[in-house]
Amino acid sequence: MSKEHPVTLAVDQCEQLAKEQGWLWNAPTTQKLAATLILAHGAGAPMDSDFMNDMADRLAASGIGVLRFEFPYMAQRRIDGGKRPPNPQPKLLESWHEVYAVVRPLVSGRLAVGGKSMGGRMASLIADEVQADALVCLGYPFYAAGKPEKPRVAHLAELRTPTLMIQGERDALGNREAVEGYTLSRQIDVHWLPTANHDLKPLKAAGISYSACLQDAAERIAGFLSR
């Protein structure tokens, strides 16, 4: 049996799982699967938003397999087209646990959890409990819009899972000045994108393109998950 067989098996099984569940799977386009990342969407956009599609493609090109799922409220929105708010936090966490429990047996290598905004915050709340190999957050919502006086950081001070947060310097849900004043676990590395907002998009005056910011984020994540 070749050494590559477990990797090939994991890729095939993740692809089959995605088809069965109605999820999305981006297999790595390189010869080596460095790690697998379960990536959850944010509060207002689905798993196949332009941002999620772009990031999944960039990560796959760097050797990271990306599996995307939808929380119940977003899956229902896809069915009936109705606008609805996110499920209560217990339901969101339950969904994360269910997805992780299904995926973990299929992946023999490193398995990370993470997401965009709300999806990443929910992942941060289950990462230690499920003993994920790593956590990746894209635009972490350190506080609700307009409420910097109520930060959501208590659990981040004690987080044990190795974590990478990609954050825009002018993120309205966690700008650099505010975040650097928090007490965060030593396991958390925050990578700042110059002048970028919550969607990691920089100001034109920064002299860097949106695509370059997303590529920087993808390369940082790939390097982090490949350690």
Residues in the chain: 227
| Region 125-132 average pLDDT | 98
What is this structure's pTM?
0.95
State the pLDDT at residue 36.
Answer: 96
Residues 6+ apart with CB under 8 A from 226: 34, 35, 63
Q: What would the pLDDT profile of 51-77 be if each residue is shown by its tens digit? A: 999 999 999 999 999 999 999 999 999
* Structural domain boundaries in the chain: 5-225
In terms of C-beta distances under 8 Å and separation of at least 24 residues, what long-range contacts does 174-181 make, across chains too?
174/139, 174/140, 174/141, 174/142, 174/143, 178/142, 178/143, 178/148, 178/151, 179/142
The confidence score (pLDDT) of residue 85 equals 94
Q: What is the mean pLDDT of residues 177-197?
A: 97
SS (H, E, C) the chain: CCCCHHHHHHHHHHHHHHHHHCCEEECCCCCCCCEEEEEECCCCCCCCCHHHHHHHHHHHHCCEEEEEECCHHHHHHHHHCCCCCCCCHHHHHHHHHHHHHHHHHHCCCCEEEEEECHHHHHHHHHHHHHCCCEEEEECCCCCCCCCCCCCCCHHHHCCCCCEEEEEECCCCCCCHHHHCCCCCCCCEEEEEECCCCCCCCCCHHHCCCHHHHHHHHHHHHHHHHCC
Residue 3 pLDDT class (50, 70, 90 cuts): very low
Classify domain 5-225 at the CATH class level: alpha beta
Per-residue pLDDT tens for 140-157? 999 999 999 999 999 999
